Amino acid sequence: MDAPHTGFVADSLDRRIISALQIDGRASWHGIATALGEPERTVVRRGTRLLDSGLVRIGAMAVRGRSTVIGVRCAPGQARVVATALARRPDCAFVQVLTGTWDCVAEVQCPRDRLAGLVMDELPGLPGVVRTLTLPVLRHVRTIREWHAGLLTEAEISALTGGAPPGTAPAADVSSPSDGAGELSRADRLLVNALAEDGRCTFDELARVAGVSEATARRRLGALRRAGRVRVRAVIEPVLLGLPVEAVLWVRAVPAEVDTVTAALAESPHVRYVSFVTGERQLLVLTAFPDEAALHDFVTRSSWLREALSVDVSMVLGSLKRGGMLAPWLRD
């Protein structure tokens, strides 16, 4: 797509700081420096430079319903138009333009009672859409916010998470919240909107935006995150971590061996996202590699392939939305 090209080169420490922010986008520079065993002044300088460059963004996304993966086949020349329309939906988590059978893949958060309208009315009504594939997510195995490319040790991860595994949260956060979770209060919506623009804004800033005390802002955000109603995440381009080749895998596994396959996939530092979805191919997998040769090895020599019946590979041509945040060139 039209992703901006920059001359920024991230070295090994930059990449470790990025990984720490992926684990906790609101972690303090002091906490990151302590976890990584680096001088705090260096971490502050490097981390600030990464955020100021716009190549690493911290944002929040309110959980609006159950996750549904959408594949779209577009009329010739319309993939960019369709992908942009999907990306601009506030309930959309990610959108990628692909090679292969499906021109676009996206994930939206849709309450169960609105799924029929999404499938029968909203998606077919988008200009340029020829065919759609709708796959409700039954279980998230790994989401982007839990991926850190294997650049940190277990001890460093433990220091950043307080001993809990990265991404640990109640069931509502791991898969999808109950459709009956209810709407956010006005103050909570203001908190989320402020965090969507800057996931690292201070509690004092959040309190002023929401019209509450600092203590209330701290308490409400903590409650929303623990309940899985709000997700704060670092949004990056994998190329920053030396992984410029992205691919989407559609995996069909032996039903009795799906858990074995997903466990193996989740152990790979190249797997950014795995979800168990409805449909003929049970697993949707988002990956990133240093080159095409590494991707080839992954889909031809991995041990989990013994339990896989088929693997379809689509290369990612461009990403218009990641982690609920629009690509910079789409922002108003």
Query: Which has the minimum average pLDDT: 4-8, 26-30, 123-127?
Result: 4-8
Mean pLDDT score, 35-45: 96
The CA-atom distances, in angstroms, between 255 and each of 8, 75, 245, 266, 308 are 45, 34, 29, 17, 9
pLDDT band, very low/low/confident/very high, at 70 (cuts 50, 70, 90)? very high
Whole-angstrom Cα distance, residue 95 to residue 87? 6
Residue ranges of domains in the chain, CATH in brackets: 242-315 (3.30.70.920)
pTM of the model: 0.83
The CA-atom distances, in angstroms, between 232 and each of 124, 152, 321 are 31, 20, 15
CB 294 within 8 A of CB 270: yes
Q: What pLDDT sits at residue 1?
A: 55
Digit-coded pLDDT (tens) for 213-238: 999 999 999 999 888 888 888 888 89
